[in-house]
Structure 1
Amino acid sequence: MLIGYARVSTPEQSLNLQKDALIAAQCELIYDDVASGTNAERPGLKKALEYMRAGDVLIVWKLDRLGRSLTDLVSTINRLNAEGKGFKCLDQSFDTTTPQGKLIFQMFAALAEFERNIIRERTMAGLVAARARGRLGGRKPKMTADDIRLARVLMEDMTIPLGEIANKFQVSVKTLRRSVNRTPSGPPIPPRAPGRKSQRGH
């Protein structure tokens, strides 16, 4: 079965162009969201992924309709691949059910890994600088605003164990979770085991 997914950033934008393209591609069902690229709440996409079965193909008009970033895009496609489902992008002629599409996706995955490593290195450098600044001003809270912002970036990378992140900030996993989830800088981080790496794509 071909499942379509469309997304616009604001209610003022129209989904018609995307839906027309998905209908022309013979999608039997179309799910949609009205949400910005930085908004993690995408119920339409969630429903589409839950509805799909092995052998189904998710189709979008453009790649940026599916992922908030290259890492997010690769994570979603990895999930589809692991569950025996395909992915196709109409505008970029990208199809993971073909050998060429699989090769292109491998290149995307390598770029996403490179991007994660760069972000991790910069985040760690920023953490060291933030810690150094904190030591200059006397007693400081367990986690400063800078700490929480940097911790959120690390926690969004599901390959890094929570215990490792907590150790970087010299706090417990419980304190790490509480500090990040009570800060209104983004959606709550989903729960996961403190000392184990989570599988990518899930």
Structure 2
Amino acid sequence: MSTETPRQQYLLGYARVSTLEQDEALQVDALTAAGCGRIFVDKASGSLQHRPQLDALLEHLRPGDTVVVWRLDRLGRSLRHLIDTIQDLQARGVAFRSLTESIDTSTPGGRLFFHVFGALAEFERDLIRERTHAGLAAARARGRKGGRPTVWTPEKLQVAQQMYDSGQHAITIARVLGVSRASVYRALQSTGPLTMMQSSTPHRS
């Protein structure tokens, strides 16, 4: 029979400040007062994909634990990311609390709140998708295609063709005209046969 002591269930705090100059003391004090036995702190932009301390927190979690944050925006990069993260916690048997908004997913009211949150986020995505499709359809009806406007003017195309005809490589043409090499290839292909090898070594002056 195993004599291993079951792991204690913890309140684990997560704090984030957006720059190295900001002080996380306010968040840490609030999380400590809430009873968090350990606090993970990231100093990074909310839009940054990789947050090492959040990753460490997620790896440390066990069923029955609770993640605590000072405010909702400290955890999620966006509403969708916040909802996905909390749904992942719930699937792992981990609760979530936000002190400022008084949300606790270990309670029926807290779980209901995030179900409503998730439904609103899905509704917002559907509206954005619908508006995008309607805008593209309207543009097509007016004879325009979606996407970025071209950087190529008739004058630039003429210069590119002249440089190509004189034996210049695409990388040189791109540098002179301030466009990408791939854009040069596409432009020359659209104006006529392109026989220049894309893998050619650029010539050096």
TM norm structure 1:
0.62
For 1:64, the aligned partner's letter is D
1:112 to partner: Cα distance = 1.2
Bigger radius of gyration, 1 or 2? 2
Alpha-carbon distance in structure 2 between the residues aligned to 1:51 and 1:70: 24
- Give the percent of matched residue pairs that are identical in Structure 1 and Structure 2: 56
**C-alpha contact 1:71 1:116 (8 A) present in aligned 2:** no
Query: What do the CA deviations read for 1:105-129 (whole angstroms, capped 9, x no partner)?
Result: 1111111111221232234445557
2:62 aligned with 1:57? no
Q: How does 1:72-111 map to 2 (within 5 A)?
A: 72-111=81-120
**C-alpha contact 2:136 2:145 (8 A) present in aligned 1:** no
Structure 2 unmatched runs, 5+: 1-9, 150-205
Task: Give the alignment partner of residue 26 of structure 1, picking from 3, 12, 35.
Answer: 35
2:52 aligned with 1:38? no
Residue correspondences, number: 138
Task: Give the alignment partner of residue 6 of structure 1, picking from 12, 15, 19.
Answer: 15
Alpha-carbon distance in structure 1 between the residues aligned to 2:136 and 2:56: 37
Task: Give the alignment partner of residue 118 of structure 1, picking from 118, 123, 127.
Answer: 127
Rate the CA distance shift 1:130–1:13 in 2: closer, same or farther, 3 A. Answer: farther
User: Which piece of structure 1 moves more, 106-115 or 51-60?
Assistant: 106-115
TM norm structure 2:
0.61
Q: Secondary structure at the match of 1:68?
A: coil
Structure 1 unmatched runs, 5+: 136-143, 147-202
Name the residue aligned to 1:168.
none
1:88 to partner: Cα distance = 0.2
Alpha-carbon distance in structure 2 between the residues aligned to 1:130 and 1:15: 48
RMSD: 2.1
Rate the CA distance shift 1:6–1:130 in 2: closer, same or farther, 3 A. Answer: farther
